[in-house]
Amino acid sequence: MDVHSCAKCACFGVSCYSGAALLPGSYCMKYCPACHKTYPGDYNVCPADQTGLQMTHELQPGMIIRNKYEILAKLGVGGMGVVYKVRHLTFNELYAVKIVNETISGDTNFLQRFQKEAVVTRKLRHPNAVRVDDFDYTDDGRPFIVMELVEGKNIGEVLQSEGPLRIPRAIHIARQVAQALGMAHKLGIVHRDIKPGNILLTTDEQGQETAKVLDFGIAKLRDAVGETNTGMTMTGMVVGTPLYMSPEQFMGKRGGEVDGRTDLYSLGVVLYQMVTAQLPFEGDTLYSLMMQHMQGTVRPPHELVPELHIPESLSLLILKSIDKSREQRFQTAGEFIAGLDQVAVAAPDEPVASDHAASIEATSLFGSSQASTLPARTGPATAKTPPASALGQAGLPLASSAQISAPQGSVPQNVTAQTGDRRSVSQVAPTAPIVNSMLVKSAEQHVLIQPRTFRLKHFLILAILSLAAVFVAGAGYLKYESLQRTRIESAVNEKLSTAPSPTLRQAAIAVSVSPQREVILNGNVPTAEDSTSAETLAGSVAGVSRVTNRLKVFASVVHPQDMSGAAGESVESLIQKGSDFMDAGDYASAIDCLRKAPSNNKGAQDLLERAQRAQKTEEELLKKRR
């Protein structure tokens, strides 16, 4: 569709201030840098202070639109437009202004529909619905609506920070939302996009928590509205967020085929999420999510998270509200409220202390990638809505059940306005596995809350497994180090036994290896050259960090094969030789020599015993080092 602008002043709008005909063109708006008022494009000088005007295509803080709303800050940007925080200059009151963006404000049919919906929605005056106060056009021709400015956090943000809500609080919120929907349905307004992001929690003048439903301003009207909808229904399009859409929305129904029961279905999904911090329907893809809403079964909340002690009567109410068939659901918001009141009476507020609710951590299911990636849940149990005969007057059992309190905090005062715009998507056939890209984008823009419950036994199991892993790794490391030390010791002994020096090969040298792979040489060698050679040979083995040489040099060492064992050798000579052998550390030769002495010689026998004890001690030390 062509975008038109004024041929006289180049401004865009439904009607031009100059009265000139509309011609194809672009947007134009000027503002005064002194008084910050905005003017159409044909103005060059500010009428108030004669200051030269400047061109602008975006509103900035301090600017004044329509001579009554001062821009204070930008609150958010959606697919439909931009939301600003403004101040009414005359009343000195704060509002939220939503200005339609340029890409769609040139559509004449859309402008008619937008204005009509703003007029009808302004009739919705309810304490639980965001109020629409004004409708106008900016100086460059873009339409905008002025809404009540609400301070608070939406349900999605509350679930993310606090986890599942207490049963009385969830019932209180759902009841207020249903009251706002009931009033809207009487006016012929179907919201079509009830979700946590469109339900704001604030406080009233008495300090009580109050729910406010956002986004009524762009909801699609039913055909029952007094005026005709010809050419204004944008047929073939559906509005909503896939995670909360009803089966009839997925089937592409429109007009009178989508009524207030669709909003009650979405509210049932939100209530399910408020008490469990989980969703009743999930899927790996958007197509599987659609099939879950249209054909899947759901696990009752009290069975899904039994540790939260959700009343069974509340579970049955939720199951009834999200039934696949509209005829089996609550038919009006009044019926839904009656059911909530019955559950509240059957399950009085008796908080039960528990650590389970505090352990539930909210996580996001969507990233920022272009593809929609919904997490899969492993085989949820299924349950169907009980027959009507098992239900009370409002479709609920009268039996009460205990409940549990989740940790709650005060609602931080954050300024929030109606920023999200519902994206229109093409009709989706339930049998076609092709997912509409607009539907995927709409799902990506919404943040869900998915809990992960960790119990004490899980932490104990994790701790035990961690300790076992550390033990196995430590044992393996010790075994590896032991094998390495044994290898080094064997390699050093082999090099010493094949040394070039005959005296070094025959020397008694004890080799040990420390945990730091340090080789320690103990014993006696006949020459200093043999000591140096032994140290060099030990250091040449791979893996040796350093060598500690403790070898002693004894030049007078005499080996047994050089000793004469001839008969008639004197006892004194044998004792002297045995003593020399012991001094040299050659205990085996000392023992052989002293055994030749007469057994009745006390000196020789004492020395023999000393040699034997020394030999035994040396052997034990060598065994321990190895």
Helix ranges (H only) for 58-107 are 102-105
Beta carbons of 151 and 202 less than 8 angstroms apart: yes
CA-wise closest residue to 303 among 316, 322, 286? 316
Strand partners, 88: 69
Chain-centroid distance of CA 478 in Å reads 39
Q: CA 574, 578, 580: angle at the middle one, nearest 5?
A: 120
Concatenating the DSSP letter of every residue in 427-488 gives ---TT--PPPHHHHHHHHT----EEE---HHHHHHHHHHHHHHHHHHHHHHHHHHHHHHHHH
Pair 288, 428: CB distance under 8 Å: no
Residue 126: CB atoms within 10 Å? 18
Torsion of CA 231, 232, 238, 239, to 10 degrees: 170
Residue 138: partners with Cβ closer than 8 Å, 6 or more residues away:
29, 38, 59, 65, 66, 99, 144
292: helix, strand or coil: helix
Phi-psi category of residue 448: left, alpha or beta, with phi > 0 → left and psi -120 to 50 → alpha: beta
Q: How far is CA 64 from the centre of its chain?
A: 42
**Long-range CB contact pairs, 578-584, < 8 A, 24+:** 578/604, 578/607, 578/608, 578/611, 579/607, 580/556, 581/611, 582/607, 582/610, 582/611, 582/614, 583/554, 584/524, 584/554, 584/556, 584/557, 584/558
User: At 597, is the secondary structure helix, strand, or coil?
Assistant: coil
User: How far apart are alpha carbons 389 and 387 in whole angstroms?
Assistant: 5
DSSP state, 298? B
193 is catalytic: yes
Q: Quick check: 492 and 511 in contact, CB under 8 A?
A: yes
How far, in Å, CA of 528 to CA of 118, rounded?
Answer: 107
For residue 156, give both structure tokens: 């999605």
In 3D space, the residue among 86, 75, 121, 78 whose CA is nearest the CA of residue 103 turns out to be 78
- Return the DSSP state at 611: H
Q: Please give the Cα distance from 216 to 314 (Å, whole number).
A: 27
Neighbouring residues of 594: CB distance < 8 A, sequence distance ≥ 6: 574, 575, 578, 604, 605, 607, 608, 611
* Residue of 139, 140, 193, 215 marked active site: 193
Question: From CA 71, how far away is CA 486, in angstroms rounded?
Answer: 82
Query: CB-hemisphere CA count at 13 Å for 267?
Result: 33
DSSP assignment of 377-401 equals: -S----B-PPPGGGS-TTS------
- CA pair distance 43, 81, nearest whole angstrom: 26
Q: Which residues in 242-280 are b (16+ Cβ under 10 Å) and which e?
A: bbbbbbbbbbbbbeeebbbbbbbbbbbbbbbbbbbbbbb
**What phi, psi does 284 have (nearest 5°)?**
-70, -30
Residue 569 and residue 592 in contact, taking contact as beta carbons nearer than 8 Å = no
What positions carry a catalytic annotation? 193
